[in-house]
Structure 1
Amino acid sequence: MGTSERKHVLITFGRSFLTLELARLMSAAGHRVTIVDSIPIGITRFSHATSAFHRVPAPKFEPRAYCHALAKIVADEKVDMVIPIHEETDILSMMVDIFPPECELFLSDFDTENRLHNKFEFQELLTARRIQTMKYAEVRGPQDVAALDFDAPFALKECYSRGSQTVHKVSPGDSLDWLEFDPLNPWLAQEWVSGKQYCTYSVVHNGRIHAHATYPVDYAIGGSSCLNFRSVQHDGIYAWIEDFVREMNFTGQVGFDFIEHPERGLYCIECNPRATSGIMMFAPEDRVDRAFFGENDEVITPDATVDKMIGLGMLIYGWRKDSRGDRSIRQFLHDFRGARDVVGAPGDNRPALMLPLAYLGIMRSCIKYRVGLAEGFMHDHEWDGLRISE
């Protein structure tokens, strides 16, 4: 297939490093990039890759106003494609009809997005397709707690939650009196399996993978939200994803978390039907923009030698025991020196210079919403199951 003509893309969640990297990749390929966010100091706003920035309502708290604001920008500025980054993907998928028909929203229909996002529904989907799963159960109330029959430690997490939020490790017999129950956001109990963990990122059109990256979980906040990114090849994981997205006829960005047990094999822990940190592993010469427009025949993958990190995140979290795992402080320092920070880029240093100011803005959100730094970063873009129609 040929290369794309110049397009106008709108990318959401301008505070995100993922948005910054995607904006740079799109701009380097000759496309015009507009950024939106609900806060005024998202770092992507200051990138040379950004042609325009718009402040919009917070999608979590004003979902209708958020979607209408984006639709107006799309119509007024003749945007060709909207690429959502975080959980505003689910919200936009409920209101695709308000957007001009000539603009593509790079996502799947709401039912698909929701089934992949909801951690229990995703496991049910795997079971229905006879895909190997870890033991799991939905917990909606005290009666479900009493019915749990795990004979080994298990994870307990909300069905609508994300990597930076708490995953509780529970042993059989532990008291769960502390659990609070939300009818819109129940809990998932999931067998705790040990093994090598991997994360993925794929750009998919109509069930076909156009770009893909797999990276091991090395340094991660609480062991789950990755801070560094090394490209690895895992044929089993790629084949798993290839089959799954084809059966779902999925369109959009998607990431999967896997764990590989040495005897029992490969398990998919959960799915993130949106952008993941894997986008930061691609370089301008990879021309990953073609994947978004469905123009490439060969699957685009990152260079095998790529080694990147979120530098500030590594400084704040990476050295901690729960983030570095079995690695020593000396190993952390070695790996920190050897990786390239995703924020800085030749010829585009303003985002790095503005990073302290941007984090002050995030701290303001933390105080406003009474949450920690990792949660405050994304709190107003989370979606926990509330339908707009409700």
Structure 2
Amino acid sequence: MGTTERKHVLITFGRSFLTLELARLMSAAGHRVTIVDSIPVGVTRFSHAADAFHRVPAPKFEPRAYCHALAKIVADEKVDMVIPIHEETDILSMMVDLFPPECELFLSDFETENSLHNKFEFQELLVARGITTLKYAQVRGPEDVAALDFDAPFALKECYSRGSQKVHKIMPDDPLDWVEFDPINPWIAQEWVSGTNYCTYSIVREGRIHAHATYPVDYAIGGSSCLNFRSVQHDGILEWISKFVRDMNFTGQIGFDFIEDPERGLFCIECNPRATSGIMMFEPADGVDRAFFGENDDVITPDPDVHKMIGLGMLLYGWRKASRRDRSLREFFRTFRNSSDVITSPGDQRPALLLPFAYLGILRSCYKYKVGLAEGFMHDHEWDGLRISE
């Protein structure tokens, strides 16, 4: 059940499984879907859900050219809504004036997006709103390292980082002379606690949640990049997010990482003001397209029995001890057997069949930028705090 009026939506980051799933959901609801990416062969390009594909400049390295290219496509093809998927969200939020006023960019203003993306500024937002946080400190240089007073393990990560990249578990007496400092992208030290980890995905318009999913971290790269997805109901998390996005008057896709300590309660570790893997738990029958256009009254949630996975990711990483945590290999194989792969879909098998060709483009990026597979997948769509203007 989708919206009654057919729209033309442009979705970015065509190589992503998130983009593939959203394209399928939009297409199933009757909308026209255009996909863009900076590599020529993204997995969504093979999908029947994509009506058109455009190769565009890499947003990280050519942000102005990227935004101008998207604005031209929007104007030429009369796009109704642009839905960014990854950190090109921040870049587009700085250049919204390029786009025709009749096209909506599904995001918030730059100051809001940046304050949520920057891990230190996000913690400062929580404190300003009276929300209890884990202990944290910003690390800009050697003097901040010397001032750290953690008496228990803590995480050290860049304020602009993603997908568990460069997250270090530090013991109080560990030397930190290896840390390199970037004035644009400093570090944040954050208390390391044990507990149950949850990730979320919400579609929000003007501070109101229209669709929402909460899923525990079961199998994950680096402990946070989830590889399998099962929907759970957590009223405390939904209440927390509802109040926060209402206070921020947020519009866009947004995800949060939580940890729940059995003694201390619920803490929000960080925010991702963009799409997260939770979008992959929705089915066409949910009519999630209505959430983007603000046409539903009740909050749309996934079926509680949904069990999905990124099959290739599970095969490459999920079986490893670090990814499955305390779960046995027997449990891993049971989960793998009982979960459906997000890339497969009845009537749309080409993305699965042609996935090796799609990954050739990713591997080419890995070679070009001299990074690993996980980093190469998103490297040219990352944003690390450098502001741009038209």
- Which of the five TM-score ranges fits, normalised by the shorter chain? over 0.9
Question: Counterparts in 2 of 1:265-304, with a 5 A limit?
Answer: 265-304=265-304
Question: Counterparts in 2 of 1:46-85, with a 5 A limit?
Answer: 46-85=46-85
Q: Where do 5+ consecutive residues of structure 1 fail to align? A: none
CA contact (8 A) 1:2 1:296 kept: no
Aligned counterparts of 1:4 and 1:300: Cα–Cα separation in 2: 17
Which residue is 2:169 aligned to? 169
Is 1:204 equivalent to 2:199 in the alignment?
A: no
Which residue is 2:312 aligned to? 312
Q: What one-letter code is carried by the residue in structure 1 that aligns with 2:131?
A: I
Aligned counterparts of 1:355 and 1:244: Cα–Cα separation in 2: 38
Which residue is 2:96 aligned to? 96
Shift of 1:173: 1.1
Aligned counterparts of 1:211 and 1:99: Cα–Cα separation in 2: 26
Cα deviation digits, residues 21-50 of structure 1 (max 9, x gap): 000000000000000000011000010000
Shift of 1:307: 0.2
Aligned counterparts of 2:112 and 2:151: Cα–Cα separation in 1: 33
Secondary structure at the residue paired with 2:294? Answer: coil
TM-score (norm: length of structure 1): 0.99
CA change 1:153–1:164 in 2 (3 A) is closer
Q: State percent identity of aligned pairs.
A: 84
Secondary structure at the residue paired with 1:304? Answer: coil
CA contact (8 A) 1:132 1:267 kept: yes
CA contact (8 A) 1:4 1:295 kept: no
Q: Where do 5+ consecutive residues of structure 2 fail to align? A: none
Cα deviation digits, residues 258-307 of structure 1 (max 9, x gap): 00000100000000000000000000000000000000000000000000
Is 1:37 equivalent to 2:45 in the alignment?
A: no
Which residue is 1:23 aligned to? 23
Number of residue pairs matched? 390
Which residue is 2:214 aligned to? 214
TM-score (norm: length of structure 2): 0.99
Cα deviation digits, residues 206-225 of structure 1 (max 9, x gap): 00000000000000001110
Aligned counterparts of 1:354 and 1:57: Cα–Cα separation in 2: 23
Shift of 1:359: 1.0
Shift of 1:164: 3.8
- Aligned-CA RMSD value: 1.0
Which residue is 2:226 aligned to? 226
Shift of 1:157: 0.3
CA contact (8 A) 1:2 1:295 kept: no
Q: What one-letter code is carried by the residue in structure 2 that aligns with 1:325?
A: R
Aligned counterparts of 1:126 and 1:296: Cα–Cα separation in 2: 29
CA contact (8 A) 2:2 2:288 kept: no
Shift of 1:163: 1.6
Which residue is 1:6 aligned to? 6
Shift of 1:3: 3.2
CA contact (8 A) 2:39 2:55 kept: yes
Aligned counterparts of 1:153 and 1:389: Cα–Cα separation in 2: 40
Which residue is 2:108 aligned to? 108
